[in-house]
């Protein structure tokens, strides 16, 4: 269990990933540089973007500015991007990767993910990721939005086991079965939309728990993830919210409160269903 923004978690290939990172989903490219720079200044060491977000250039500018402002080195950061696998061929995946690192202004990625499984469309993409990984252009490879049966299908042909699966995870969608499968196969779960795109913040059960600990609902939810060893990517465009989201290491939820939060599960998504979403 992580105890600070600097704490890292070991992945199945020996790469260490920060447990709590900054996401850039739905941030316009022109605004992303300032957000990423502020994130690095405020202690975030994992920066998460994607080809489809359209803000890799801004992310790259923010990374450069953040490193210059803090005196950190490139290897102090962990940068993730994702290939938008719209039935991509092997060559298209390679080209997408090369485009991403060029826009980011980086020599390598720490983590590259297949963004969605699609309909039987990830075999060639995964082969491309494996080759990029073997060439040292990516430190680790993984997937996003994969259900158990997608992971099982991947395992039938993959030479490299994905290090993590980034999926929608929050108290209304706690992914218990998927998390158990991933644990058994040494695949980490990383939550996107851990605050349910803000929809969870008005929950009365969570509000009562938050009052008990003199914390915000957001802090309680993020702490719930941390205590279950769920990796996190949290988006925030405001520095004060970035700081607030990181103030989750000075308290611990008691077992009865963890149980109350777990009981909120409804398998309710705010994002697309991976079994139905295609490109």
- Does the residue 140 lie in any domain? yes
- Does the residue 79 lie in any domain? yes
Q: What is the pLDDT of residues 105-141, one digit of tens each?
A: 999 999 999 999 998 789 999 999 999 999 999 999 9
3-state SS assignment for residue 117? coil
- We report the CATH number of the domain holding residue 132 as 3.20.20.100
- Does the residue 39 lie in any domain? yes
- Does the residue 153 lie in any domain? yes
Per the structure block, which two tokens stand in for 54?
């359209």
Burial class (CB in 10 A: 0-12, 13-18, 19+), 33: buried
Is 150 a known ligand-binding residue?
no
- Does the residue 227 lie in any domain? yes
Q: How many CA atoms lie within 13 A of 207 on its CB side?
A: 6
Q: What is the pLDDT of residues 4-55, one digit of tens each?
A: 999 999 999 999 999 999 999 999 999 999 999 999 999 999 999 999 999 9
Count structural domains, the chain. 1
- Does the residue 41 lie in any domain? yes
- Does the residue 267 lie in any domain? no
Our answer to whether residue 90 is catalytic in this structure is no
State the residue range of the domain holding 128.
8-262
């Amino acid at each position: 269990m992580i105890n600070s923004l600097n704490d890292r978690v070991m992945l199945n290939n020996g790469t260490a990933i920060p447990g709590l990172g900054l996401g850039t989903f739905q941030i316009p490219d022109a605004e992303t540089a300032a957000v990423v720079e502020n994130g690095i200044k405020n202690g975030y060491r994992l920066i998460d973007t994607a080809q489809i977000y359209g803000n890799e250039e801004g992310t790259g500018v923010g990374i450069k500015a953040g490193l210059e402002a803090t005196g950190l080195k490139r290897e102090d950061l962990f940068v993730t991007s994702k290939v938008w696998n719209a039935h991509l061929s092997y060559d298209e995946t390679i080209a997408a990767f090369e485009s991403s690192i060029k826009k980011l202004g980086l020599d390598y990625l720490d983590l590259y993910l297949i963004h969605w499984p699609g309909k039987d469309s990830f075999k060639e993409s995964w082969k491309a990721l494996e080759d990029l990984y073997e060439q040292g252009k990516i430190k680790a490879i993984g997937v996003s939005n994969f259900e158990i049966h997608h992971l099982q299908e991947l395992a039938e042909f993959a030479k490299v086991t994905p290090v993590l699966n980034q999926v929608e995870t929050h108290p209304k969608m706690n992914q218990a079965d998927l998390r158990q499968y991933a644990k058994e196969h040494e695949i980490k779960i990383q939550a996107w939309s851990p605050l349910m795109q803000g929809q969870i913040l008005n929950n009365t059960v969570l509000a009562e728990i938050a009052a008990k600990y003199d914390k915000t609902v957001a802090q309680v939810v993020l702490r719930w993830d941390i205590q279950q060893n769920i990796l996190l990517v949290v988006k925030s465009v405001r520095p004060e919210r970035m700081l607030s989201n990181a103030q989750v290491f000075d308290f611990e939820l008691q077992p009865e409160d963890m149980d109350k939060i777990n009981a909120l599960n409804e398998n309710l998504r705010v994002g697309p269903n991976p079994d139905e979403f295609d490109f």
